[in-house]
Amino acid sequence: MPGTRHQNNFRKFVLHHFPHSSYPRQFILIKLKNTCMKEFMFIFKGPSYEDLTMSPAEAGANMMKWLEWVKQLKSEGVYVEGRPLIKKGKIVTGKNVVTDGPFTESKELVGGYFIVKAESIDDVLKHTKGFPDFELGGSIEVREVQVTPGSM
């Protein structure tokens, strides 16, 4: 079972260093585990609800699925943050050429992102199962967020 060795190490650490702590040991274990977890970005791709010609009722029902998924991720202690993106934007090249984008020819519009915590990429993949837009042709690109000096 992934992570079990690390959990046992945390437990031993807490018992050794905090034998008489006023905080419940479970709280300390959760705090320690969360500080050692990596961050990953879920990048949501797929057609926009406009392009799918969803009715307001259909879009509202799908939004409820998103809210339930976020609630589930929060209850599992992995959700950090997330936001949807506005469909319109600009693309800037290295020579300061600005063009409208993203282009509508692309059926894989980046619609938003989440930041989530997990021990490994294999561990974080199980949290993608609740993604509401799989049934609409959407996908999730999962990338580890690189830790840079001074960012933590």
The CATH number linked to 116 is 3.30.70.1060
Q: What is the pLDDT of residue 9?
A: 64
18 and 70 share one domain: no
Instruction: Determine, yes or no, domain membership for 151.
Output: no
Percent of the chain with pLDDT over 70: 71
> Cα separation of 41 and 135, whole Å?
21
Mean predicted lDDT score pLDDT of the chain: 81
The more confidently predicted of residues 124 and 97 is 124
Give yes or no: residues 75 and 119 share one domain: yes
Model pLDDT, residue 100: 73
Name which of 66-70, 83-87, 106-110 the model is least confident about: 106-110
Per-residue b/e over 42-51, b at no fewer than 16 CB within 10 Å?
bebbbbebee
Mean pLDDT over 136-144 rounds to 95
pLDDT recorded at residue 95? 80
Residue with more model confidence, 34 or 65: 65
Q: What's the rounded mean pLDDT across residues 124-143?
A: 96
* Domain identity same for 27 and 74: no
Q: Where do runs of H (alpha helix) occur along 20-82?
A: 25-36, 56-75
Residues 27, 88, single domain; the answer is: no
Q: Tens digits of per-residue pLDDT, 24-63?
A: 555 555 555 555 789 999 999 998 888 899 999 999 999 9
Do 57 and 25 share a structural domain? Answer: no
pLDDT for residue 1: 45
Asked if residue 71 belongs to a domain, the reply is yes
Same domain, yes or no: 65 and 7: no
Residue 149 has phi, psi (to 5 degrees) of -55, 130
Number of domains comprising the chain: 2
Q: Are residues 57 and 80 in the same domain?
A: yes
Pick the residue with more confidence: 146 or 148? 146
- Do 73 and 129 lie in one domain? The reply is yes
Residue 150 in any domain: the answer is: no
Same domain? For 29 and 46 the reply is no
Query: In this structure, are 18 and 92 located in the same domain?
Result: no
| Predicted local distance difference test score (pLDDT) of residue 92 | 85
Whether residue 56 sits in one domain with residue 29: no
- Domain of residue 10 covers 1-36
